[in-house]
């Protein structure tokens, strides 16, 4: 195969390992030997020594060693390195031959076996005549050996065996066939490895020793050969540092060789080999920069060494291979842990390799035309079937002079090579390399490089006539270039793609690429565009397009017949092309005239079209699809033969559509879902250009952005321009249909704020300003939805203002029919709101009606509505405060059972409007009224803002109240309304729950009967009542303190007993001496039996002071008489 001529030989690319031959093992029939062999070759991981083992028969013939040259004086080398040399040292000439022999130390037939073994060693030695290969013997023993020195027989017999086999003691090994086979084997192979290393060491020395016999004139080739051999042997010895040194030396020597046309290939081949080895070792030593530097040097040195001009493709092939193999080495190193970067990764080398392969292809096309018949006899045939030396010509092997020996033979040879080159699948090679490179660039974040290479791949597929694959690749990368807006590159790709589509006769692709090449993104010249446009019209007419200019003749013929078939095929004559993904030659932009339309207006829609191609384009149909398909029928233009359907180059055209929206679509959005334009007609082929939404294509967004920037700068200039500016046209792809503008007047009147619980009245006035009857007027009134969640429960709306509504009334009254309104008619309505809680509320008044109207001659029934909202604050009308006081108007913390006390209420108005308090009442619980009939003291009282009204009730807690500590007292109900509201408006009952009281029971109750005032020097009779409220007899001690203001008569100190539930009376006659408020003589009461109730607690029931009037001028005789 011609391609493989450039492949590196496998023996060069493998890792050299010491070669050790194992003989005397019967791995087929002997299980023990099989196990030993398996232990050697199985599981060779990195931690085992690098040896390649081979089992050979005992009498194997090793390659013969040629007699060693004693002098190089008359020797002229025929080439640099022989093709078989590396393989010979890797696989044929062992560093060590190991003879396995089954023999125990105590074998009964020791003597015979010893001599048999010696014979076998001798056979091996003979066959290795002249080589430095070592021989070693391994005795396979059944018994475990004793520790060294203990087994005297063993050591004696060992030395006997050594001497009979002529072995050194170090070359005799014992392998007991016991449990620890692998362990023994590993020890054995380490020993073998040492022997092998010695062997290679001596070999290197031997090659080195030749140097002194060489001279620089005739033996230049040998210098390279010897360095190469030493390097390779060093590798076998695993001495990679020295190997690298020798290879580098060999590399510089190879370039010192006299190069001429005849040996150029040999020099390059060897330079390539050595370079490969150097780079490989550098990567292995983890010095990738050295590898790259070496490779660069190598390329720079060899780039210009083209050699034979007729075979220039060979040079490119070789260069390509250099890059490829370096790329592979690099890639391998990366797999072993090297990190590459964006600007230095194997991809570049693969790419360059592909590049040289492309050169090779081109040169092959240029150079390989001449030869028609392959020369006979084949000049490339050699007797051995291969070459003796790497990189030589088969027809003149070993020839080293400057001029070819036989010019005729040379010519034939070149011809043969050229003819062979013609059969090389160049494109395949290029594509393989490119796809390698693509994979690398993908890894190292080079998307554009990747695209570029994919374009190249596509082009290569195109050249290889695999158009389907070519289109697939080109199509894939096209959109990258489209989004990056690189029009020259996009145009180039499109042109190739158009060729592919033409040659495949793929109608749809052909049409698409034509359209884009005609578009504004294309950088083609006008005449090319014109040609393409004509072709496009031909296809539309179901005709065969003209051939693309750069296609070769043979494929054009094939394409023509394909097109003819395609044309004959009827049926698939319609195709739809999505324009959004391309930059086609017809641009489309559509917009609704306004973002919203009233339902009684026609909806207006404009479609702008512009052709960028050089010739006018006619189309047969333009349709706009809308989200509601019922409107689609209004948005169609069809050609009727006149020029309205022709687009002139570069001139935008506008198509207007209008339609009447359906009334049920009010509140909905109408969207353009697509625009379709039909090119061609029924006679030929039709192509539907389809835009999604409201038009635009792959480039229009950016253009619009750019245009908006410039119009922002030059906004003023824009308006002045007469002509439509295409770029600033904006798309408006949807519109709202909104209801007709109502022509009624809705007014609200009310008196805010609302008071809690009142029936707040809002007066609604609706007046029609319509020209015709407004029918079905409906009112929706109440709390506007969407406010705080709790408001719905605390707001009630009703139309009935005569009574207070209950909690079942809704928060929003819906669709209250108000009848019809004639033009100009006025309608009033009161709506009552009851707000239970305070805070702001938004009330909505929604008046809806329907009206007959006509739009563009069509009668429609429009529903109109008008909304009014009002925000109303709700406040508390008044505050009620309540307190309990004793009969002495002292605040009470506790209420004594069965003793009268006072309840005082206070109503403080906080309403901005005057309030009329209609009445108030107490609804008592537990406690009873002391007065027989409770009468409201607040009837018909009017309170202005900030005024307050008070009431006082005397209450008593009945004696039989249960002993519980606190008791509920009941409720206070106030009924009221706004003063300004009409008299028949309902009264609002506001209920205030009275506070609980803490009860207290007193064992003894004392109270005094005394007149409301006294008079100086006038007798003042006071009677004290002492009641025992307990079930026991109470002993009471009473003493009266003297007082300056009074004289008195009565018992000054007394001790008395009060029987249960009875009372005692004490009568005193006080005689006031001073006028004014006077403190009454203090009564000290104590209950010896009941120490808790002391004198002060009892004293609180008694009056402290009394007002004493001065003596009158005419004293009342009666009172004196009483004193």
Range in contact with other proteins (rule: CB under 8 A) among 124-132, 486-494, 1021-1029, 1040-1048: 486-494
Cα–Cα dist 227/250, whole Å = 5
Nearer to other proteins among residue 292 and residue 575 (C-beta): 292
Among 398, 447, 667, 823, binds other proteins (CB under 8 A): 447
Range in contact with other proteins (rule: CB under 8 A) among 72-80, 226-234, 440-448, 534-542: 440-448
Strands of the sheet containing 997-1000, edge to edge, are: 894-896, 997-1000, 966-967
- Is 725 a binding residue for other proteins by CB under 8 A? The answer is no
Nearer to other proteins among residue 710 and residue 1119 (C-beta): 710
Residue 684-723 contact track with other proteins, rule CB under 8 A, x = bound: ------------------x---x--xx--x----------
CA distances from 390 to 384, 385, 393, 1087 (A): 14, 14, 9, 142
Nearer to other proteins among residue 19 and residue 481 (C-beta): 481
CB of 78 to other proteins, least distance (A): 35
Nearer to other proteins among residue 343 and residue 553 (C-beta): 343
- DSSP at 171: G
Cα–Cα dist 970/713, whole Å = 80
Nearer to other proteins among residue 345 and residue 756 (C-beta): 345
Which residues, 633 to 662, sit near other proteins by CB under 8 A?
A: none
- Is 521 a binding residue for other proteins by CB under 8 A? The answer is no
How many angstroms separate the first and last alpha carbons of the chain? 160
Enter the tokens of residue 535. Answer: 């072709």
Closest to 685 in 3D by CA, of 564, 536, 834: 536
Closest to 696 in 3D by CA, of 721, 732, 647: 732
Nearer to other proteins among residue 342 and residue 1079 (C-beta): 342
Enter the tokens of residue 1058. Answer: 């009060």
CB of 718 to other proteins, least distance (A): 13
- Bridge partner list, 923: 971
CB of 468 to other proteins, least distance (A): 24
Nearer to other proteins among residue 347 and residue 614 (C-beta): 347
- Bridge partner list, 716: none
Among 333, 489, 501, 694, binds other proteins (CB under 8 A): 489
User: How many residues touch other proteins (CB under 8 A)?
Assistant: 24
Nearer to other proteins among residue 481 and residue 760 (C-beta): 481
- Is 446 a binding residue for other proteins by CB under 8 A? The answer is yes
CB of 851 to other proteins, least distance (A): 51
Range in contact with other proteins (rule: CB under 8 A) among 21-29, 34-42, 487-495, 761-769: 487-495
Range in contact with other proteins (rule: CB under 8 A) among 10-18, 125-133, 481-489, 1107-1115: 481-489
Which residues, 63 to 122, sit near other proteins by CB under 8 A?
A: none
CB of 446 to other proteins, least distance (A): 4
Cα–Cα dist 24/42, whole Å = 19
CB of 480 to other proteins, least distance (A): 10
- Is 449 a binding residue for other proteins by CB under 8 A? The answer is yes
CA 1103 to the chain's CA centroid: 88
Helix (H, G, I), strand (E, B) or coil at 622: strand
Cα–Cα dist 644/791, whole Å = 63
Nearer to other proteins among residue 445 and residue 826 (C-beta): 445
CB of 319 to other proteins, least distance (A): 10
CB of 485 to other proteins, least distance (A): 3
CB of 409 to other proteins, least distance (A): 36
CB of 288 to other proteins, least distance (A): 16
Nearer to other proteins among residue 520 and residue 834 (C-beta): 520
- Is 455 a binding residue for other proteins by CB under 8 A? The answer is yes
Cα–Cα dist 259/270, whole Å = 13
CB of 707 to other proteins, least distance (A): 9
Among 403, 484, 574, 815, binds other proteins (CB under 8 A): 484
The answer to whether the bond into 753 is cis (omega within 30° of 0) is yes
Among 72, 486, 655, 913, binds other proteins (CB under 8 A): 486
- Show Cβ contacts of residue 860 under 8 Å, excluding neighbours closer than 6 positions: 599, 600, 660, 663, 852, 853, 854
Cα–Cα dist 473/460, whole Å = 11
Q: What are phi and psi of 211, to 5 degrees?
A: -55, -40
Which residues, 284 to 303, sit near other proteins by CB under 8 A?
A: 299
Helix (H, G, I), strand (E, B) or coil at 478: helix
CB of 434 to other proteins, least distance (A): 13
Enter the tokens of residue 659. Answer: 């339609």
Nearer to other proteins among residue 334 and residue 736 (C-beta): 334
CB of 573 to other proteins, least distance (A): 37
Nearer to other proteins among residue 352 and residue 735 (C-beta): 352
Nearer to other proteins among residue 727 and residue 947 (C-beta): 727
Range in contact with other proteins (rule: CB under 8 A) among 459-467, 479-487, 787-795, 976-984: 479-487
Enter the tokens of residue 187. Answer: 């020890």
CB of 652 to other proteins, least distance (A): 20
Among 63, 183, 425, 488, binds other proteins (CB under 8 A): 488
CB of 315 to other proteins, least distance (A): 14
Strands of the sheet containing 1020-1028, edge to edge, are: 1004-1009, 1020-1028, 1063-1072, 1046-1049
Cα–Cα dist 1014/1107, whole Å = 6
Which residues, 337 to 376, sit near other proteins by CB under 8 A?
A: 342-343, 348, 352, 355
Closest to 284 in 3D by CA, of 346, 249, 336: 336
Cα–Cα dist 849/582, whole Å = 50
CB of 456 to other proteins, least distance (A): 9
Cα–Cα dist 360/351, whole Å = 14
- Is 445 a binding residue for other proteins by CB under 8 A? The answer is yes
CB of 449 to other proteins, least distance (A): 4
Helix (H, G, I), strand (E, B) or coil at 129: coil
- DSSP at 827: E
Q: Are strands 636-638 and 617-626 parallel, antiparallel or unpaired?
A: antiparallel
Closest to 357 in 3D by CA, of 426, 305, 423, 284: 426
Nearer to other proteins among residue 492 and residue 799 (C-beta): 492
Nearer to other proteins among residue 702 and residue 802 (C-beta): 702
Cα–Cα dist 312/148, whole Å = 69
- Is 485 a binding residue for other proteins by CB under 8 A? The answer is yes
Closest to 655 in 3D by CA, of 723, 606, 602: 606
Residue 561, Cβ density class (10 Å: 0-12 exposed, 13-18 middle, ≥19 buried): exposed
CB of 493 to other proteins, least distance (A): 10
If you write DSSP's letter for every residue of 914-969 in order, what string do you get? -EEEEEEEEEESSSEESSSS---S-TTEEE-TT-EEEEEEEEE--TT--S-SEE--
CA distances from 579 to 20, 530, 587, 696 (A): 71, 21, 9, 8
- DSSP at 907: E
Range in contact with other proteins (rule: CB under 8 A) among 410-418, 449-457, 743-751, 845-853: 449-457
Nearer to other proteins among residue 293 and residue 370 (C-beta): 293
Binding site for other proteins (CB under 8 A): 299, 342-343, 348, 352, 355, 445-449, 452, 455, 484-486, 488-489, 492, 702, 706, 709-710, 713
């Amino acid at each position: 195969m011609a391609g493989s001529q450039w492949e590196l030989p496998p023996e060069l690319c493998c890792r050299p390992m010491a070669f050790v031959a194992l003989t005397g093992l019967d791995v087929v029939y002997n299980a023990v030997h099989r196990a030993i062999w398996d232990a050697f070759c199985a599981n060779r991981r990195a931690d085992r020594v690098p040896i390649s083992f081979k089992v050979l028969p005992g009498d194997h013939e090793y390659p013969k060693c040629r007699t060693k040259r004693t002098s190089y004086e008359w020797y002229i080398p025929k080439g640099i390195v022989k093709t078989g040399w590396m393989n010979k040292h890797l696989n044929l000439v062992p560093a060590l031959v190991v003879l396995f022999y089954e023999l125990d130390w105590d074998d009964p037939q020791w003597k015979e076996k010893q001599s048999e073994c010696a014979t076998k060693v001798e056979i091996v030695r003979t066959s290795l005549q002249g080589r430095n290969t070592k021989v070693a013997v391994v005795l396979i023993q059944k018994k475990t050996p004793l520790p060294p020195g203990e087994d005297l027989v063993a050591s004696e017999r060992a030395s006997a065996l050594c001497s009979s086999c002529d072995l050194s003691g170090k070359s005799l090994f014992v392998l007991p066939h016991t449990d620890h086979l692998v362990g023994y084997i590993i020890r054995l192979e380490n020993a073998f490895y040492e022997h092998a290393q010695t062997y290679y060491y001596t070999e290197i020395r031997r090659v080195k020793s030749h140097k002194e016999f060489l001279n620089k004139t005739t033996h230049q080739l040998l210098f390279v050969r010897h360095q190469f051999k030493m390097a390779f042997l060093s590798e076998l010895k695993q001495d990679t540092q020295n190997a690298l040194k020798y290879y580098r030396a060999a590399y510089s020597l190879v370039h010192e060789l006299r190069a001429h046309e005849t040996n150029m290939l040999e020099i390059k081949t060897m330079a390539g080999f050595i370079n490969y080895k150097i780079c490989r070792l550098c990567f292995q030593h983890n010095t990738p920069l050295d590898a790259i530097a070496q490779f660069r040097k190598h390329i720079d040195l060899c780039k210009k060494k083209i050699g034979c001009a007729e075979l220039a493709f060979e040079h490119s092939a070789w260069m390509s291979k250099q890059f490829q193999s370096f790329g592979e080495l690099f890639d391998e190193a990366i797999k072993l842990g090297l990190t590459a970067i964006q600007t230095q990764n194997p991809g570049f080398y693969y790419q360059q390799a592909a590049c040289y392969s492309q050169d090779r292809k081109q040169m092959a096309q240029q150079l390989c035309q001449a030869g028609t018949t392959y020369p006979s006899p084949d000049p490339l045939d050699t007797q051995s079937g291969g070459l003796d030396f790497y990189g030589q010509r088969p027809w003149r092997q070993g020839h080293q002079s400057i001029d070819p020996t036989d010019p005729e033979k040379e010519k034939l040879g070149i011809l043969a090579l050229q003819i062979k080159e013609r059969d090389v699948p160049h494109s395949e090679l290029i594509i393989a390399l490119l796809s390698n490179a693509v994979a690398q660039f993908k890894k190292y974040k080079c998307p554009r490089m990747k695209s570029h290479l994919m374009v190249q791949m596509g082009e290569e597929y195109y050249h290889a006539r695999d158009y389907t694959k070519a289109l697939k690749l080109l199509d894939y990368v096209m959109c990258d270039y489209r989004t990056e807006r690189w029009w020259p590159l996009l145009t180039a790709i499109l042109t190739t793609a158009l060729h592919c589509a033409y040659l495949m006769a793929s109608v749809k692709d052909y049409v698409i690429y034509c359209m884009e090449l005609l578009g504004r993104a294309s950088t083609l010249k006008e005449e090319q565009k014109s040609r393409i446009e004509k072709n496009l019209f031909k296809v539309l007419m179901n005709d065969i397009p003209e051939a693309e200019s750069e296609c070769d003749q043979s494929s054009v013929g094939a394409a023509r017949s394909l097109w003819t078939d395609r044309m004959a095929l009827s049926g698939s004559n319609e195709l739809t092309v999505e324009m959004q993904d391309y930059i086609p030659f017809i641009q489309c932009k559509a917009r609704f005239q306004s973002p919203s339309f009233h339902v009684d207006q026609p909806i207006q829609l404009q479609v702008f079209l512009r052709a960028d191609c050089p010739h006018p384009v006619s189309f047969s149909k333009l349709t706009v699809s809308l989200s509601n398909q019922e409107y689609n029928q209004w948005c169609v233009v069809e050609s009727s033969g006149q020029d309205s359907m022709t687009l002139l180059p570069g001139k935008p055209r506008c198509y207007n559509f209008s339609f009447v929206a359906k009334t049920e679509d009010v509140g909905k959005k109408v969207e353009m879902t697509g625009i379709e334009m039909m090119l061609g007609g029924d006679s030929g082929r039709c192509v539907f250009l389809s835009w999604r939404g409201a038009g635009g294509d792959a480039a229009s967004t950016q253009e619009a952005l750019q245009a908006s920037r410039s119009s922002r700068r030059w906004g003023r200039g824009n308006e002045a321009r007469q002509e439509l500016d295409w770029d600033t046209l904006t798309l408006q792809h949807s519109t709202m249909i909104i209801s007709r503008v109502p022509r009624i007047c809705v007014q609200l009147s009310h008196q805010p704020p609302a008071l809690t619980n009142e029936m707040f009245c809002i007066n609604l006035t609706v007046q029609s300003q319509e020209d015709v009857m407004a029918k079905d007027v409906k009112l929706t009134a109440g709390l506007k939805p969407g406010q705080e969640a709790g408001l719905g429960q605390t707001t009630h709306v009703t139309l009935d203002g005569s009574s207070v509504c209950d909690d079942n009334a809704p928060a929003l009254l819906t669709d209250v029919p108000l009848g019809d309104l004639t033009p100009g008619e006025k309608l009033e309505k009161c709506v009552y709101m009851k707000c239970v809680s305070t805070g702001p509320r938004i009330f909505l008044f929604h008046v809806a009606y329907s009206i007959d109207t006509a739009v563009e001659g069509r009668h429609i029934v429009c529903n109109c509505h008008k909304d009014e909202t009002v925000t109303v604050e709700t406040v508390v009308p008044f505050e009620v405060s309540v307190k309990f006081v004793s009969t002495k108007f002292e605040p009470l913390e506790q209420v004594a059972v069965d003793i009268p006390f006072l309840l005082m209420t206070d109503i403080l108005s906080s309403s901005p409007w005057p309030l009329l308090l209609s009445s108030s009442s107490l609804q008592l619980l537990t406690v009873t009224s002391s007065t027989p009939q409770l009468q409201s003291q607040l009837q018909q009282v009017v309170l202005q803002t900030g005024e307050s009204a008070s009431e006082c009730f005397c209450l008593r807690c009945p004696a039989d109240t249960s002993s519980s500590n606190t008791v509920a007292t009941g409720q206070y109900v106030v009924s009221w309304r706004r003063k300004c509201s009409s008299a028949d408006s309902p009264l609002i009952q506001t209920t205030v729950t009275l506070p609980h009281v803490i009860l207290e029971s007193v064992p003894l109750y004392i109270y005094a009967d005394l007149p409301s005032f006294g008079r100086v020097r006038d007798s003042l009779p006071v009677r004290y009542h002492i009641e025992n409220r307990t079930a026991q007899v109470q002993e009471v001690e009473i003493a009266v303190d003297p007082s300056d203001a009074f004289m008195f008569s009565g018992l000054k100190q007394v001790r008395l007993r009060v029987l249960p539930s009875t009372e005692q009376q004490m009568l005193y006659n006080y005689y006031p001496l001073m006028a004014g408020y006077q403190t009454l003589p203090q009564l000290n009461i104590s209950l010896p039996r009941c120490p808790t109730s002391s004198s002060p607690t009892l004293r609180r029931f008694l009056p402290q002071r009394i007002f004493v009037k001065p003596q009158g001028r005419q004293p009342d005789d009666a009172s004196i008489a009483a004193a």
